[in-house]
A and B are shown apart, each in its own frame.
Chain A
């Protein structure tokens, strides 16, 4: 069974607008971490934002925020004021304490295209 599901293979957004990238996850472990990474065509995986399963508030990092709905098991990434440089592949990922935390599970990714 898929542990991380990203249902949007591709998304388009107009420059300066906000966009939400969806991510749902499946775990029975009460302790886990959720991450979003950005991967431009150059290949580097860039860490964007982290949300812990026990965190009460949604994480924010500059233009990135994570809409964490624990009961729904969703961890959507919101990018505000999109820029052309935001065009990239975005991966949602999870680490579970039960696996010792070593194994990061990635979703299939969402390709974001920002239009001028």
Chain B
């Protein structure tokens, strides 16, 4: 079983809605990530938090807003999304940023924008 927990598993939202995806890990990892994955494609990095500070934003539109309240939690706030934002959103964590550190993923949140 994964030690990275994501909620909700499935989310359907309208283009005017505001919703949030939540992620939690209790492995003591200091780096947390959000990835977006479209069907039949590899995951694409969106954001990286290191020691609760945003380290990387891969030019993600502002309608996606990440938040790291503490070292165990990572949120992704969603507002005014477009249908093309429908995808699997994967949260992940790693002990740190060393190239040998394995990234562990959650089960993902399937997002549908209608």
Tell me, yes or no, whether A binds B.
yes
Residues of A within 8 A of B (CB): 29, 31-33, 35, 37, 42-47, 50, 52, 91, 95-97, 100-104, 106-109
| Inter-chain contact A43/B98, CB cutoff 8 Å | no
Interface residues of B in 86-102 (CB under 8 A from A): 88, 90, 92, 96-102
Q: Does B71 contact A (CB under 8 A)?
A: no
Which residues in A have their C-beta under 8 angstroms from that of B90? 43, 45
Residues of B within 8 A of A (CB): 2, 31, 33, 40-43, 45, 48, 50, 55-56, 88, 90, 92, 96-108, 110
Query: For A47, A50, A96, which residue has the most chain B Cβ atoms within 10 angstroms?
Result: A47
Q: Which one of B101, B102, B103, B107 lies within 8 Å of A44 (CB-CB)?
A: B107
Q: Which one of A43, A52, A91, A95 lies within 8 Å of B107 (CB-CB)?
A: A43
* A32 and B106 contact, Cβ closer than 8 Å, known pairs A45-B90, A108-B42: no
Query: For B48, B92, B99, B101, which residue has the most chain A Cβ atoms within 10 angstroms?
Result: B99
